[in-house]
A and B are shown apart, each in its own frame.
Chain A
Amino acid sequence: MKLTLEFGGGLELLCQSIKIHEVDVGLKDGEVKLMMRDLLTWIRTNLIKERPEMFMKEDSVRPGVLVLINDCDWEIYGNLEATLEDKDVIVFISTLHGG
């Protein structure tokens, strides 16, 4: 599944200072859909190069990281349970720093 991932507010520093990543995320065997929960695990394994604790806490994003799916707050879609579709744009913005 092709997705566009964007990191901002300092989170890009965790993935080699690259803000926008065009990625192709495969589904796990036996899975029929990709959920945000799976995507976070995938990002942690494949994109985050340092200090993963800045991005995630337990199985979700660290509190204070905003997540948008196609410009909508991911809470609208059910957070970790949100189902992703091809060509979705997912944005992560950290708010844990100065204003």
Chain B
Amino acid sequence: MGLEILVCMKQVPDTQKVKIDPERGTLIRKGVPSIMNPFDESALELALEIKEAVGGRITVLSMGIPDAECILRDSLTLGAEKAYLLTKGDFAGADTLATSYTISRAIKTIGKYDLLLFGKQAIDGDTAQVGPEVSAYLDLPVVTFVSDVIKVEKRSVVVERMIDNGKQVIKAPIPSVLTVVKARQRLRIPTIDGIVSSFERNVVRLGPDDIGADIKRCGLKGSPTRVKKIFSPEGKGSTSYIEGNLEQMSAEFIDVLKHKGLYRR
């Protein structure tokens, strides 16, 4: 049958390696590598599996600085056919409202899609708002917390979604927006042939004019959200790290316990 699948993705700092400047309350980004948001990796893997099962084409879309092209290029090596990057100063500083507006404008411009996949949330902002907001702008149904696509039918998909006490199976119409959780198979590794064929494909860059966007609704200008303060939660007590191989670490740990009188043979 062949589905047109769109995967929206974001380049994020590897938050496992990010620290917060305690005085200024801002993220220290220096030297922190950028990665594809892990939830978006799951969404892309799901898209690739759907494509393998029923055929189709995958388009990837992102908004960010020019360097965000890296995650789109990686997607092309894995088998995405088309890639678009929204990158222009007017887009900078966007909150989820302005982001969703911009992305929905772009989607209306670049094509019609059967399934629109988002990672459930990005690991830097953690809002989980962009997928549902885009669905509102596009007037499409949305299924959040999707963990798998069980079946693709002619005009619908059957998906599994995670809920607090288990799983829920839902039939959603085509087209729909799905936001994907991380509990899936990890994003695959590209093949040599995949990398070579990606050389033929380019990442198309889009600005506000290309998507007919009102720049007052984009970027910082279109963002009512104000960040009042970012801070590290105050730690209680202190943390010390034990280094070395397993044996050395265990031995040192036992020493610490002994020192505190918590270890007896």
Q: Do A and B bind each other?
A: no
Interface residues of B (CB under 8 A from A): none
